[in-house]
Amino acid sequence: MSLRPTLDFLLHHWLAAESLNQRERFKDHSRETFDAVLDTCERIAREKYAPFNRLVDTQEPQFDGERVILPQATHDAQKAYAESGMLSAAQDYEIGGMQLPYTVEASANAFFAMASVSIGSGMLTTGNANLLMKHGTEAQKRVFALNEFSGRFSGTMCLSEPQAGSSLSDVVTRAVPDGEGFEADPLGPRYRLKGNKMWISAGEHELTENIIHLVLAKIPDADGKLIPGVKGISLFIVPKKLVDTEGQPTGERNDVALAGLNHKCGWRGTTNTLLNFGEGKYPVRGEAGAVGYLVGQPGKGLQCMFHMMNEARIGVGMAATMLGMAGYHASLDYAKNRPQGRPVTTGGKDAAAPQVRIIEHADVKRMLLAQKSYCEGALALELYCARLVDEQHTGAPDAADEARLLLEVLTPIAKSWPSEWCLEANSLAIQIHGGYGYTRDFPVEQYWRDNRLNMIHEGTHGIQGMDLLGRKVLMENGKGLQLLAGRINATIQRAIQVPELAAHANALGQALAQVGAATKAAWATGNPGHALANAVPYLQAFGHTVLAWIWLDVALASRDASESSARTGRLAAARFFFHYELPKIGAWLQVVRERDLTCAELPEAAF
């Protein structure tokens, strides 16, 4: 089974990605150039990623005291990815990019996530370099970003610390000016950093010539104190090896040391590290302290980082989706081949009849259709968001602003919904395999372990829920939520005309009204403690409503497509979502509406 027909349908039939070619930035592109990118990525994923997915799981990164050792397959996969040009796909032609729409870039990257999510860490490098293109100086772009786009250097993002995960305002990594004339360094104001960064993905390896860390740290005030809160946070480029203004190594190792590798449940193809900055293991010019170059303004570090984090969140949602999809495809294949049991008929079971394949049992079909509705629905959502990113960057001013606001509201869903429901899909894929699914002889347990990360990093589920209900639906006087409701209503108006979809359209209208009412009720007393006590059930209900809308819109597009089993499948997945999933929002929203404090007020001793 191939992902390509689903991707092609969503990209071309549903989102009309080709119409982007009418824009100046994408005018050299065509369906042929888009197809060529997808073909190349599909091939590299098939040849260099998929065959090694189990290998990178069993051969975890090892630290020999000096170097982090990764399997040769990881080196080969990363080389092939860099050579494909995907690291700089969206960049300008002048700097070697393809000026590819993000919608197509995200679609092409889907093949890699499905084949082996952890073997490559290109997303971090691209995100890091993109941030520098937006907030860096010309020298920082030339020396660091361009070398990341070419694959010569790789990138990390260093936010978390052992005591500061969800709460980044508590970071204590310090950055102090590096001597006289620190402001005049051609690579940016030069500081010395000291502190520990925890959980840093791709923080140490030998895959690239250099590693460019983007590090959040605080510049102490005149009394040497750190400014509390996020206002005091600044952003620094800290290369593993120091370079000159041409990006050539100076021969000096920067004072960044690997304190240890984290041994993870899944996603083992990418190293995960605790890094010590400035402890003096590699003194620079005789002094302890990692050399870092300020990016943007002091105190504005988190704002710069958010530029990278929003893209990263769509990337996380896409990774979760594709892991779910990998499990769906594997369990579908298994269900078509595993004989077990006999059908229930009106006359009972005939023990003498041959066994049927498990795909013939209604409950197995339920589990398959659930996976299909979660994963293909999530893929549609991610591509919709990617299309909004293109609109934000290349649309007319009003449309661009609308896309920006819609993305504000949809990003927590794009990150969290697939992280929860495509993980559930992986659990169902294991269930379909029965006992075999619980062994390492089949790939589905690894997909689940790999996917379990996604509810944790890039803002946990709880933090995303609070971001949605506490900030995103309220921002700019609720304009983002109104815009989203407008789009949902437009789909409802079209679907209500179609007899086969009219009931779904009505159900979606009611769900939207319920979400609106619950949003108001949550904030009725104006007490954030009460409103946000049930932010995750709100996130779940909001997400399910968004997914129902996406499915209704996809169903409308499917109706125009010619009769085929793919069309039947898509309409059935939409029906499944409306019959089995959307009704769940009632229970989730009830506790939100009633500001239920059962959990929030329970004293610790009662647990």
Ligand X SMILES: Cc1cc2nc3c(=O)[nH]c(=O)nc-3n(C[C@H](O)[C@H](O)[C@H](O)COP(=O)(O)OP(=O)(O)OC[C@H]3O[C@@H](n4cnc5c(N)ncnc54)[C@H](O)[C@@H]3O)c2cc1C
Q: Which residues contact 138 (CB under 8 A, 6 or more apart)?
A: none
Task: Say if residues 534 and 596 touch (Cβ distance below 8 Å).
Answer: yes
Q: How far apart are CA 168 and CA 198, in angstroms?
A: 12
Give the binding range for ligand X (CB under 6 A) out of 6-14, 160-168, 342-350, 550-558: 160-168
Nearest approach in angstroms of CB 60 to ligand X is: 12
Nearest approach in angstroms of CB 563 to ligand X is: 45
Please pick, from the candidates 6, 78, 116, 272, the single residue that binds ligand X as defined by CB under 6 A: 272
The size of the interface with ligand X (CB under 6 A), counted in residues, is 19
Task: Say if residues 263 and 60 touch (Cβ distance below 8 Å).
Answer: yes
Please pick, from the candidates 99, 201, 210, 254, the single residue that binds ligand X as defined by CB under 6 A: 201
Nearest approach in angstroms of CB 478 to ligand X is: 23
Site string for ligand X, 432-471 (x = CB under 6 A): ---------------------x--xx--x-xx--------
Please pick, from the candidates 29, 190, 218, 264, the single residue that binds ligand X as defined by CB under 6 A: 264
Structure tokens at 62: 């090892």
Give the binding range for ligand X (CB under 6 A) out of 26-34, 153-161, 323-331, 519-527: 153-161
Nearer to ligand X, 12 or 449 (CB): 449
Please pick, from the candidates 56, 108, 157, 406, the single residue that binds ligand X as defined by CB under 6 A: 157
One DSSP character per residue, 494-557 reads HHTTSHHHHHHHHHHHHHHHHHHHHHHHHTTT--HHHHGGGHHHHHHHHHHHHHHHHHHHHHHH
Q: Does 323 bind ligand X (CB under 6 A)?
A: no
Site string for ligand X, 492-511 (x = CB under 6 A): --------------------
Q: Count the Cβ atoms, other than its own, within 10 Å of residue 446.
A: 25
Please pick, from the candidates 111, 144, 153, 267, the single residue that binds ligand X as defined by CB under 6 A: 267
Q: How far apart are CA 158 and CA 177, in angstroms?
A: 20
Give the binding range for ligand X (CB under 6 A) out of 46-54, 156-164, 419-427, 484-492: 156-164
Which residue's Cβ lies closest to ligand X?
165
Q: Does 531 bind ligand X (CB under 6 A)?
A: no
Task: Say if residues 338 and 271 touch (Cβ distance below 8 Å).
Answer: no
Most distant CA atoms of the chain, gap in Å? 91
Q: Does 597 bind ligand X (CB under 6 A)?
A: no
Nearest approach in angstroms of CB 231 to ligand X is: 18
Give the binding range for ligand X (CB under 6 A) out of 126-134, 151-159, 176-184, 505-513: 151-159
Taking CB under 6 A as the criterion, which residues in 163-182 touch ligand X? 165-166
Nearer to ligand X, 84 or 160 (CB): 160
464: exposed, middle or buried (C-beta count within 10 Å: 0-12, 13-18, 19+)?
buried
Give the binding range for ligand X (CB under 6 A) out of 9-17, 154-162, 182-190, 279-287: 154-162
Q: Does 600 bind ligand X (CB under 6 A)?
A: no
Q: How far is CA 552 from the centre of its chain?
A: 24
Q: Which of 53, 9, 15 has the alpha carbon at shortest distance from 327?
A: 53
Q: Does 199 bind ligand X (CB under 6 A)?
A: yes
Task: Say if residues 232 and 288 touch (Cβ distance below 8 Å).
Answer: no
Task: Say if residues 380 and 573 touch (Cβ distance below 8 Å).
Answer: no
Nearest approach in angstroms of CB 127 to ligand X is: 10
Please pick, from the candidates 154, 160, 454, 514, the single residue that binds ligand X as defined by CB under 6 A: 160
Q: Does 369 bind ligand X (CB under 6 A)?
A: no
Half-sphere exposure of 212 (CA within 13 A, CB side): 32
Nearest approach in angstroms of CB 475 to ligand X is: 19
Task: Say if residues 295 and 214 touch (Cβ distance below 8 Å).
Answer: yes
153: helix, coil or strand? strand
Q: Does 276 bind ligand X (CB under 6 A)?
A: no
Chain position carrying tokens 């179609």: 498
Q: How far apart are CA 242 and CA 190, in angstroms?
A: 12
3-state SS record for 414-459: HHHHHHHHHHHHHHHHHHHCHHHHHCCCCCHHHHHHHHHHHHCCCC
Q: Does 489 bind ligand X (CB under 6 A)?
A: no
Nearest approach in angstroms of CB 315 to ligand X is: 12
Q: Does 153 bind ligand X (CB under 6 A)?
A: no
Nearest approach in angstroms of CB 460 to ligand X is: 3
Q: Does 233 bind ligand X (CB under 6 A)?
A: no
Nearest approach in angstroms of CB 264 to ligand X is: 5
Residue of 204, 311, 391, 458 with catalytic role: 458
Q: How far apart are CA 349 and CA 291, in angstroms?
A: 74
Nearer to ligand X, 35 or 60 (CB): 60
167: helix, coil or strand? coil
Nearer to ligand X, 107 or 160 (CB): 160
Q: How far apart are CA 544 and CA 275, in angstroms?
A: 39
Nearest approach in angstroms of CB 273 to ligand X is: 9
Nearest approach in angstroms of CB 201 to ligand X is: 3
Q: Count the Cβ atoms, other than its own, within 10 Å of residue 28.
A: 10
Please pick, from the candidates 37, 50, 129, 158, the single residue that binds ligand X as defined by CB under 6 A: 158
181: exposed, middle or buried (C-beta count within 10 Å: 0-12, 13-18, 19+)?
exposed
Q: Which of 166, 128, 182, 74 has the alpha carbon at shortest distance from 535?
A: 166
Give the binding range for ligand X (CB under 6 A) out of 102-110, 197-205, 393-401, 558-566: 197-205
Task: Say if residues 566 and 572 touch (Cβ distance below 8 Å).
Answer: no
500 catalytic per annotation: no
Q: Does 91 bind ligand X (CB under 6 A)?
A: no
Q: How far apart are CA 446 and CA 426, in angstroms?
A: 9
Active site residues: 458
Q: Which residues form the interface with ligand X (CB under 6 A)?
A: 156-160, 165-166, 199-201, 264, 267, 272, 453, 456-457, 460, 462-463
